[in-house]
Amino acid sequence: MRRRQKPPLPKRHGLDPARLRLPEEGDWATIRDHLVERLPRVSPARIDELLHEGGIVDLDGPIAPDAPYVPGGAIWFHRDLPVEKDVPFEIGIVHRDDTILVVDKPHFLSTIPRGQHILQTALVRLRRDLDLPDLVPAHRLDRVTAGLVMFIVDPARRGAYQTMFHNRLVHKEYEAIARFDPELELPRTIISRIVKERQVLRAYETDGEPNAETRIELLEHRDGLGRYRLRPRTGRTHQLRLHMNSLGIPILGDDFYPELTDKSVDDYTRPLQLLASALEFTDPLTREPRRFETTRHLQAWDDPQGWADGTSIDGRGY
């Protein structure tokens, strides 16, 4: 396997620099000319500033503002970060050893950098706070879903654990709070075809070969609410939310299903009442059984009035 080239710039905020390979064909006189054309969202003035600061480099060091274009070469630089508001909730540590790290992610925190969420992500926070610059996720959890996420501490072991998730060898359990329907027969298994198109926020169920399967059971109910255990056998985008919605009991706090609602990304009231509650697997290295359980609780069940009012969200218990 070809080894990834080590960047000539150090990580910043726990993030590797961006790498751009220069095309073999092109009529740019300088690297600057190419960057101005290739990075239309970055102003020419900002590119000039980075060049003068020595912030754009190749393997030989900083690139001069008038450096000639080199077909097939590569350059590195740190992208400017978006303005982000702090996600005011803590990440809980469930387990840590020399190989893996299992955490309890709060609602509203993305697992990995994406789009407008960079510093305010679990990966970047953990790399910084735990001084683990090589930490990588074994899998992902939606920003609005709380609960267990596993990361790999030792880069040499990442393949074994990521393959385990890819091959569906990890037993996952979730909890959800939704309306209680006494007419609904549970437990049951929902099998359907889910499609998620690029640039479209919501996924949808459609006819065709099934690709999503979830076992749903009612754990208990009171005051018109049910606490449900969800056991997905597949991992399609928004699978649990769609399958609960298909039963007529959408998860409380769901801003996508059944209707898409306009909610600011920094509105931390009434989080989606979905929690990744357990991970269970046979360790691919030691062959020992492992099970991790969340320490979090769903607020709509423990404090229904606080959830309805949008209060009592401190990120520690919920």
Task: Give the catalytic positions in this structure.
Answer: 142
- Structure token digits, residue 13: 């905020």
Inter-residue long-range contacts of 161-169, CB under 8 Å, 24+ positions, other chains counted: 161/100, 161/284, 162/138, 163/284, 164/138, 164/281, 164/284, 165/138, 165/139, 168/233, 168/234, 168/235, 169/281, 169/282, 169/284
Which residues, in sequence order, are CB contacts of 298 under 8 Å at separation 6+?
A: 175, 176, 177, 227, 273, 274, 275, 318
Which residues, in sequence order, are CB contacts of 171 under 8 Å at separation 6+?
A: 231, 278, 279, 280, 281
3-state secondary structure of 252: coil
- Structure token digits, residue 75: 């350059």
3-state secondary structure of 20: strand
Among the listed residues 247, 138, 137, the one whose alpha carbon sits nearest the alpha carbon of residue 183: 247
Which residues, in sequence order, are CB contacts of 89 under 8 Å at separation 6+?
A: 106, 107, 108, 109, 268, 313, 314, 315, 316
Cα 310 from Cα 107, distance rounded (Å): 14
Contact between residue 299 and residue 306 where contact means Cβ atoms under 8 Å apart: yes
Written as one letter, the residue type at 294 is T
Q: Among all chains, which residue has been given the structure tokens 């709380």?
A: 146
- Cis bond leading into 10, ω under 30°? no
Contact between residue 158 and residue 132 where contact means Cβ atoms under 8 Å apart: no
